[in-house]
Amino acid sequence: MASEISCNLMKIWDLGNYEQKVDIQKTLFPSDIYYHREKGLLRTLRVNSFLAPSIKLSNLYKEHKKSGKLILDENSASVPTDGLEPSSRV
């Protein structure tokens, strides 16, 4: 359910009425949203953890574009290179 919502968030937003958009905004941004007039940016102090993976991927992509290198999280799971054989059922 959450993955369906995240994949269709823009469509849900576009099709939603005012009350639904307010609900979406309060869910995704539980703290107040601030506008930085000089920079023209919207900011929030806290984002719902629902957005955390998307934010992390976005930041990785930005770094990749700047440096030309893709640096993955050092704590990510990796596949063993040797010694793991698939089980066979007879």
Average pLDDT over residues 17-35: 87
Q: Is 6 helix (H, G, I), strand (E, B) or coil?
A: helix
User: The tokens of 70 are what?
Assistant: 């893709």
* Per-residue pLDDT at 16 exceeds 80: yes
Q: Of 10, 43, 49, 13, which is closest to residue 28 (Cα–Cα)?
A: 49
pLDDT reported for residue 80: 55
Nearest to residue 6, comparing CAs of 73, 53, 63, 76? 53
More confidently predicted of 58 and 24: 24
pTM assigned to the model? 0.48
Provide the 3-class DSSP secondary structure of residue 69. Answer: coil
Kindly state the tokens that stand for 63. Answer: 């770094």
- Mean pLDDT is highest, among 40-49, 51-60, 64-73, 78-87, for 40-49
Q: Where are the domains of the chain?
A: 2-67
Q: How many Cα atoms are found within 13 Å in the side-chain-facing hemisphere of 89?
A: 0
Name the pLDDT band for 85 (thresholds 50, 70, 90): low
